[in-house]
Every structure is written in structure tokens, then in C-alpha cells.
Structure 1
Amino acid sequence: MDDADTVLRADAPNTVLRGGPGRAGRLAERLCRTDATQTTLKVRSGNCYDHFHAEPGQLVETDGRTLRVFTWSHRTYVAE
């Protein structure tokens, strides 16, 4: 039987989002779950969307997991 702590859950993060506006002017870094075929992401953040693109071949190891890297490209606002 597998130890519950060593089995990667299906909803566990597999992507790190880097860059973009963060709190107090710092760069943000967030973990999320994405489909392996996605090359762009649009993430809702309040009244706007942050857009990210995949960095081909760039992977990072965090807590025993391999994460794909997406970099912030721009922000758009929700039309009123």
C-alpha cells in the first residue's frame, strides 16, 4: 500500500506562475494545476486577468515535484 504522503494527488500543482504584479509591488510566484498541452494561461485576479505563457523546456523541482514554468506576459481588465 502506498503512503498517502508520497502519492501525487491528481489536483496537486504541476505548474509555477512567475512574474506579474504582486502584493506590495513584489513579483508574484504561484503554483497551480494545468493541462500538459496548455501553452498560455489566463488567470482571473480581481477585476482583471493576468496572462502567462509557457517557457518551453523550462522545469523546476519543488518539494519533490517537477513543475512547468509559465511567465507573466501582460494584464487585461474586465470590460464593464
Structure 2
Amino acid sequence: MRYVVQVFASAFRIRKIVNDGEFCILYSDSDPSIDCIYVTDKWILSNQAKPGGYYIAYDNGDSEYVEEDEFKMRATFVDQD
């Protein structure tokens, strides 16, 4: 049998990325409740992340980067502060 389970996630648009020598810091452009998220250099490189794209955090602890076009196809708007 095959099951499909909805994956719950939250996301924000990346305003800027700063490398502080130990981590890379993703600053939010769209969510006032999130100042920043810390990720590794490896995460940035493997996801080819850059400002203007979206950081997606899943409830299972995984995360990914997607470009704006893909984000608009996959996202469902839930609220606005």
C-alpha cells in the first residue's frame, strides 16, 4: 500500500545571507517574528541559496531552499502579520 502524508512546513523569504565565519545567517525579508536562522556553509552550497529565494523549514527538522517561482507553486498563504 502507498500512503501520502502532508508535510507541514513554514517558510520565509531571504533578505540577505551573512557568513560570520562559523555559520551562515539567513535574514528574513517577510516574517517579522523571525529575525534570522543559522545554517552551515554546506547547506548554502548544496541548496545554492541566495537572497530573494525562500527558506523552508519542515516539522521533521529538514529544511530546503527554493526559488520564488517554485515557492509560489507550492505554497499556501495562511496569514499575514
Q: TM-score, normalised by structure 2?
A: 0.27
More helix by share: 2
Q: TM-score, normalised by structure 1?
A: 0.28
More strand by share: 1
